[in-house]
Structure formats: C-alpha cells, structure tokens
Structure 1
Amino acid sequence: MTTSTPISPTQLPSTIRAYLAAHAAGETDAAIRTFAPDAVVVDDGSTYRGTDEVLRFLTKAGGGFTYTTELVGAERVDDEHWIAVNRLEGDFPGGLVDLRYRVTLAGDLIAELVIAP
C-alpha cells in the first residue's frame, strides 16, 4: 500500500497547480501545455492517450453541467506522485463531489492523471 502525506495545496508542484487553474478557467490551451505528449488521462471510465485525446478530454470534461471547483486538499506520495482533491458543486447528479486527481509527473509535465471519487 502506498502512503501519502497531507500537504497544503500551495505545496503542489507548479505544473499541477497550473493545470488545475487552467482547467477550472476553461483555458484548454494552457491546460494542454502541462501534459507530456504521451500522457494518459483516466476519467469517468474513459482513458485518453496522447495529446489529441487529452485535448478532447479537456474540451469535454464536465460538459453539459454548470459547476464550481475548489481545491480542498493535497497529498504528496513521492517526488513524482501527487494527489489534489477538488470539490465540485453544481447541477450534475448529486450536486456535490470531492474528486481525487492522482497525478504522475515526468519532469515538469503530467505523464498520467487519474480522476476518481
């Protein structure tokens, strides 16, 4: 079992903070620049591989719903693995959810992002 250490969200690596801010603001061009060319994103039962598919994820994620996001927690697993916890509140079924964004970094870019409750 991998253990993690709770940290302040401000202690997340700048790449992760940049991705979260850009994605929340709908700035797809800025968000995609935080990903490695061969990055993998797993969200809501779908897997996106490579720049074109990750871009498709970024443009469709949350589509059809209006919601706000708030970064409410963060954890450090090791130098490459981090967890950001975002609280989403909106008009989607259930109306409120905390999602864990498990991020693997490769240098200064996101190599993998897995989003799960």
Structure 2
Amino acid sequence: MPLELPPPVAAYVAANARLDVDGMLEPFAADAVLLDNGAAFRGHAELRRLFEEAVVAVKAIFTPDTARREDGRLVVEGPAHGDFKGSPIRFTYRFTLEDGAIKALEIRA
C-alpha cells in the first residue's frame, strides 16, 4: 500500500522516481535549506546542483516505506537504489513544511 504523503513531499518523491530535476525543485520554497549528511545547500540553484550531481548522475531513487510525524516534521524512511557504492542504502528524510512547500529537508544515511 503506497504511503499517504503531503502534496509537496509526494511531488518530490514522484519527480525523484523520474530523475526529473525541475520536478524535484518545484515543491521546495525558494529559500529552502537541504542538509545532506551535514552539508548545507540553500536555495534552488544549490539544490539543483546537488540533485544533478548526487541524484541524477548516479540514478539515485528514494523509495519511502515509512512515514511519521516527529517534533513538527515529517520523517520519511526508505531505501535509495542507484549506481552508487553500497546501493541500496536506507535513508531518513526529515521534511519541514511551510505554506504548502518544503522549507527544509535533512537527509541522513
């Protein structure tokens, strides 16, 4: 049974499955912050570069299998498969949503 995710998160996950950078960016606020294993990326230009280099280049597709609310954030977990060492790797994504957009995302392996 597919997870029921809020629209911006569902849009991000669906775009990631297509390796669609524009679609992955669309649900993020213009000033969004993404923390990827401690490295910070701010705004659409930096997020685009991250998605092109660390997602599309290695065909990394995140397939969430659990979701819960924790400390005001949506915590989504699941494996990512792709052309990278150790694939698949299980990730935890912590989304902060604001005004119908992804305001912040923290990703940890």
Alpha-carbon distance in structure 2 between the residues aligned to 1:43 and 1:9: 25
Deviation at 1:14, TM superposition (A): 1.2
User: In structure 2, do the counterparts of structure 1 residues 87 and 52 end up closer, same or farther at CA, with 3 Å as the change threshold?
Assistant: same
**CA-based RMSD:** 2.1
Percent identity between the aligned chains?
32
Larger radius of gyration: 1
Q: Counterpart of 2:47 in 1: which secondary structure?
A: helix
Between Structure 1 and Structure 2, how many residues are aligned?
A: 109
The answer to whether the 8 A contact 2:74-2:96 is kept is yes
Within a 5 Å distance, the mapping from 1:30-41 to structure 2 comes to 30-41=23-34
TM-score by structure 2 length?
A: 0.84
- Structure 1 outlier segments of 4+, above 4 Å: none
Alpha-carbon distance in structure 2 between the residues aligned to 1:113 and 1:9: 21
Unaligned runs of 5+ in 2: none
The answer to whether the 8 A contact 1:68-1:88 is kept is yes
Unaligned runs of 5+ in 1: 1-7
Alpha-carbon distance in structure 1 between the residues aligned to 2:61 and 2:105: 20
Query: Which residue of structure 1 lines up, in the alignment, with residue 22 of structure 2?
Result: 29
Within a 5 Å distance, the mapping from 1:97-116 to structure 2 comes to 97-116=89-108
TM-score by structure 1 length?
A: 0.79
Within a 5 Å distance, the mapping from 1:49-64 to structure 2 comes to 49-62=42-55, 64=57
Query: Which residue of structure 1 lines up, in the alignment, with residue 37 of structure 2?
Result: 44
Amino acid at match of 1:15: P
Deviation at 1:10, TM superposition (A): 2.6
